[in-house]
Amino acid sequence: MLRRWLGTRKIGHGGTLDPMATGVLPIAVGRATRLLPYLATDKTYRAVIRFGLTTSTDDLEGEVLTQSSARELHLEHIEALLPEFLGAIAQVPPAFSAVQVQGQRLYALARRGHTVMPPSRTVTLYHLRVEAWQPGDYPELTLLVDCGPGTYIRSLARDLGQRLGTGATLARLQRLRSGGFELAQSLTLEAIQHQVANHKLVLAEPETVLGHLPSLALEPDLARRWQQGQKIAPPQPLPPHQPHRLLAAATGEFLGIGQVERVETGSILKAKVVFQPWIGPP
C-alpha cells in the first residue's frame, strides 16, 4: 500500500508485527532503507496475558490445546515470578513464528503439519511492569515489557503460564516503541493515505532516530574524501566496529554511518552508509 501511495518500490520496515498485534512499525523510504540496520533495537510492548488456557500459536489466533479455570491464581503469585524472566534468558520461539529452521519459516512448516522444535536462543528483558490485573476463571494480566531484539512476547506468556502451572496465552499485544519511534509519533495507514493525497506527509529525518549512536564531526576535506569512498584515518581515537553518525563539522549535516576498522598500517574510518553523496568538484 505504501509503495503504491508513495510511488516507489524502495521501502523497508524495521521489524515485523504478529498478525494480531498493533502498534509501532518503523518504515524507511528511499535511501533511508540503508539505515534500518542502525536503528535502536530495544522495544516496548503492552501485553495482555490470559491464564487458564494454552493454544497452538501461543496467542488467541491458534487452536485451543488446554483450558481450565485459573480462578485461584492471584497477582501476588505472578509478581513473585516476574524477576525470573528479567535479564538475559533462554527463550524458545513459538512454533508459529518467522524464525528459520533449515531455510524454512517455522510458521510455514507448522501449517503443513510438520512438528519442529524451535532452537532456544538468548534474549534480554530489561523491565516488566504490571499495569492491570483482571481476576476471574481466566484472569488477565496487562504487562509492560521493555526488551531487546528477537524477544517473543508470546513465548513470555506461554512460559509464565507454564511456570505458574495454569497455562497462559497472549490475548492482545501492542508495540509502544520500536526503532527509536514512539506510538505517539506513529500514523495509521488511513492517516498516511489522507496526508499523501493532500501533499502533507512529512517523513522524519533519519538522524532524528539515530541519536543512540555516537557522533563524529568531519572537517570539509575529510568529509569530502569519506563521502567519495576514500580510506581516511579517523580524526580522533575511536573504538573499532562501533557505528558512528558522521556529521559535517561546519553545518552539523548528517552524512552517513561510518566505523573504524583495524588494518596493518593502523586504523581507517570505513563508510558503511554514505547518506549524503558528495556534490562538488573532484
Q: Is 18 a catalytic residue?
A: yes
Q: How far apart are CA 148 and CA 72, in angstroms?
A: 33
Among the options 18, 58, 146, 159, which is catalytic?
18
Q: How far apart are CA 48 and CA 156, in angstroms?
A: 11
- Kindly give the pairing relationship between strand 168-178 and strand 244-248: unpaired
Neighbours of 109 (CB within 10 A): 18
* Integer Rg of the chain from CA: 23
Q: How many CA atoms lie within 13 A of 192 on its CB side?
A: 13
- Kindly give the pairing relationship between strand 140-147 and strand 121-134: antiparallel
Q: How far apart are CA 89 and CA 99, in angstroms?
A: 18
95: left (phi over 0), alpha (psi -120 to 50) or beta: alpha
Neighbours of 162 (CB within 10 A): 12
**Could you give the residue numbers annotated as active site?**
18
